[in-house]
């Protein structure tokens, strides 16, 4: 795909901006010139169309200008404000393409590759753009070519009446080579040197051999010529949006001590939290920039599991981060930015209980100390076999499009119990896999078994053990990415499952010891993963209770000679 670029030349940008801000209707009734102090006195920085018609030009002394035009209005210019406003205009231009940025002091460049069809073609895009600029009172010229350099030169130096759009490829060379040498955007001194030897047009430079041209004038003419003709790359970096939530603290004297840094951070947090409160937002990711006296910088980042704007909480979270601060020769400025925010919704925990808040604060501290990749919530996997039905999700903290691990854990945390091999009745070294109450999905007759959460925890060991209730059939609904099973699941899984013997219905032989069985129910069929190359065999799971009260989860392989395995232990 051929790349296409649009250049917007705001030929009277400073005066147009001043008229929009200070004149009724955005126009000035008479000649206008913006002035700045210069060599020999105050000189004209920019002029509007009426002043230009009276013979005034940029660089003229104000005294000479008033002699030519006594009615001239000459307010002071604001170059810094012009640059900032041009940057905001570049952000507005990103409605046409994400690749839009400011170009110099009076122009914009847009990479519209792949975007023109959204505006009924290139002509439609330019027509809409020009209409909106005219409505804003901005004097402009547009050009659309294959390269930013060609668009810049064609917008400023094309002949009167020439089309704004140039064709792609070599078909545009004839028009570009006819442009004056100033279209190459060379230094004024270099352009004057080339003009003294008779080089007036781009075509004159193009006819010269490259070697002697580079030897005499350097690489700039050849490089700019290649860019004009589309033979050299010229990337366009999109205009970056300034951070919306930011607090700045310049320091009169460099600071070195931890107490001074803590005091400065508290002031920044107070200012930033006031901004977030006014906007109804909460911080999800914060970055503290420390600018040292030797111009070096250090950035300390902090993520949170939920939107926060409480100064005391954020200060406590920053406590460990500040241990990594290196003042060096002293810190001259502190800059705190909320790079990721979210809508802030107030929530209240149960009266007299701060467990939910304490848990969230603990998870935030763990993520910031150990790293977000080491903390994650359990995640349901698309697996039939229970030992592969759960994984752990990990990801960046404070993401904008995805919830962080802290936020996911904070939503719903189920206490996870752990037992030692001796407590589980296991003799010798044995790995136990700690799992949630519903760690997997059960499959029956090839379909998805849906189940409710109201049966969790039923059938737990008590003084009068009772069997589990029979599973009730449920209507089929689309399977969400959560654990939904038809029958209860054990809290602990053995990894790998241990072989057992089932000589008779009322007995079980496990690790050479015979155990009496009070009752047993099942089976629950869990089929193998059919999409795998070697799916394995199906399993029939049973729940049983031993004579000593322990409840186990067994399965029998669906083979010609079935084998029995112990897979889980209920609490």
Of the candidates 379, 413, 447, which is a domain's last residue? 413
Residue 421 lies in a domain: no
The torsion region of residue 295 among left (phi > 0), alpha (psi -120 to 50) and beta comes to left
Confirm if 52 and 44 have CB atoms less than 8 A apart.
Answer: no
Regarding whether 554 and 498 lie in a shared domain, the answer is yes
Same domain, 446 and 516: yes
Three-class SS of 344-406: CCCCCCCCCCCHHHHHHHHHHHHHHHHCHHHCCCEEECCCCCHHHCEEECCCCCCCCCCCCHH
Q: Which of 200, 228, 256 is the last residue of a domain?
A: 228
- C-alpha closest to that of 89 among 46, 141, 132, 148: 132
- Read off the pLDDT of residues 289-334 as tens digits, 9 standing for 90 and up: 999 998 899 999 988 878 888 898 899 888 888 888 899 889 999 9
How confident is the chain (571 residues) per 10-residue block, as mean pLDDT?
A: 91 91 79 91 92 91 92 92 93 92 92 92 94 92 94 93 92 93 91 90 91 91 92 85 87 91 93 91 92 91 86 88 89 92 69 55 69 68 73 50 43 37 38 33 34 36 42 48 64 86 84 87 81 74 88 88 89 76
CA atoms within 13 A on the CB side of 501: 7
Domain count, the chain: 3
17 with 136, same domain: the answer is yes
Residues 404 and 544 grouped into a single domain: no
| Alpha helices (runs of H) in 197-350, residue ranges in sequence order | 202-206, 210-217, 220-228, 258-279, 311-322
Residue 441 and residue 397 share a domain: no
Q: Please indicate, yes or no, whether residues 374 and 502 belong to a single structural domain of this protein.
A: no
Q: Is 362 a member of any domain?
A: yes
Residue 123 lies in a domain: yes
Residues 277, 358 share a domain: yes
380 plus 446 within the same structural domain: no
CA separation for the pair 50, 387 (Å, rounded) = 81
pLDDT in tens, 19-41: 988 887 777 788 999 999 988 89
User: Residue 294 domain-assigned?
Assistant: yes
Residue 58 lies in a domain: no
pLDDT at residue 360, as a whole number = 66
Domain that holds residue 287: 246-413
As to burial, measured by CB atoms within 10 angstroms (0-12 exposed, 13-18 middle, 19+ buried), residue 485 is buried
Per-residue pLDDT at 2: 85
Q: What is the pLDDT of residue 510?
A: 87
Specify whether the CB–CB gap between 569 and 494 falls below 8 A: yes
Whether residue 128 is found in the same domain as residue 198: yes
**Rounded Cα gap, residues 8 and 157, in angstroms:** 13
Does residue 237 fall inside a structural domain? no
Phi, psi for 214 (deg, rounded to 5): -70, -35
The CB-side HSE value for 381 (13 A sphere, CA atoms) comes to 14
The domain boundary, picked from 413, 442, 465, lies at 413
Query: Are both 202 and 269 inside the same structural domain?
Result: no
């Amino acid at each position: 795909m051929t790349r296409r670029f649009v250049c917007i030349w705001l030929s009277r940008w400073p005066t147009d901006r001043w008229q929009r801000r200070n004149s009724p209707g955005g126009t000035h009734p008479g000649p206008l010139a913006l002035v700045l102090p210069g060599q020999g006195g105050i000189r004209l920085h920019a002029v509007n169309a009426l002043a230009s018609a009276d013979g005034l030009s940029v660089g003229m002394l104000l005294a000479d200008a008033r002699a030519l035009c006594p009615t001239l209005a000459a307010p002071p210019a604001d170059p810094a404000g012009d640059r900032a406003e041009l940057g905001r205009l570049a952000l507005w231009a990103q409605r046409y393409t994400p690749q839009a940025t400011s170009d110099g002091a009076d122009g914009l460049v847009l990479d519209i590759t792949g975007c023109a069809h959204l505006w009924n073609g290139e002509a439609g895009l330019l027509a809409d753009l020009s209409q909106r600029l005219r409505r804003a009172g901005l004097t402009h010229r547009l050009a659309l070519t294959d390269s930013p350099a060609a668009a810049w030169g064609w917008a400023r130096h094309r002949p009167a009446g020439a089309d704004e759009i140039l064709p792609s490829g070599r078909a545009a060379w004839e028009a570009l080579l006819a442009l004056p040498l100033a279209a190459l955007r060379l230094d004024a001194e270099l352009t004057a040197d080339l003009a003294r030897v008779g080089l007036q047009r781009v075509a004159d430079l193009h006819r010269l051999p490259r070697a002697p041209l580079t030897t005499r004038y350097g690489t700039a003419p050849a490089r700019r010529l290649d860019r004009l003709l589309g033979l050299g790359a010229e990337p366009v970096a999109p205009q970056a949006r300034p951070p919306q939530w930011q607090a700045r603290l310049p320091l009169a004297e460099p600071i070195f001590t931890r107490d001074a840094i803590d005091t400065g951070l508290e002031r920044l947090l107070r200012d930033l939290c006031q901004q977030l409160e006014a906007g109804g937002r909460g911080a999800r990711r914060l970055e503290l920039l420390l600018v040292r006296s030797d111009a070096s910088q250090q950035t300390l980042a902090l993520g949170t599991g939920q939107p926060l704007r409480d100064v005391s909480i954020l200060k406590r979270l920053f406590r460990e981060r500040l241990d990594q601060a290196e003042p060096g020769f002293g810190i001259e400025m502190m800059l705190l930015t909320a790079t990721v925010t979210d809508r802030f919704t107030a929530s209240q925990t149960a009266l007299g209980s701060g467990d939910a808040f304490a848990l969230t604060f603990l998870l935030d501290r763990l993520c910031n100390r150990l790293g977000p990749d080491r903390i994650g919530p359990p995640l349901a996997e698309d697996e039939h076999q229970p030992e592969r039905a759960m994984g752990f999700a990990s990801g960046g903290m404070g993401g904008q499009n995805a919830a962080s691990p802290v936020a996911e854990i904070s939503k719903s945390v189920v206490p996870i119990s752990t037992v030692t091999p001796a407590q589980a009745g296991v003799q010798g070294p044995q790995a136990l896999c700690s799992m949630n109450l519903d760690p997997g999905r059960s499959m029956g007759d090839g379909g998805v078994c849906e189940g409710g959460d109201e049966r969790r925890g039923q059938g737990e060991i008590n003084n009068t053990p009772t069997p589990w209730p029979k599973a009730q059939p449920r209507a089929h609904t689309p399977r969400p990415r959560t654990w939904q099973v038809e029958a209860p699941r054990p809290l602990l899984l053995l990894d790998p499952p241990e072989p057992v013997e089932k000589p008779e219905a009322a007995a079980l032989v496990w690790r050479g010891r015979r155990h009496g069985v009070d009752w047993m129910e099942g089976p629950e069929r869990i089929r193998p993963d059919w999409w795998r190359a070697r799916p394995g065999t199906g399993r029939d799971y049973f729940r049983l209770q031993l004579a000593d009260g322990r409840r186990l989860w067994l399965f029998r392989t669906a083979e010609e000679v079935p084998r029995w395995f112990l897979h889980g232990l209920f609490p």
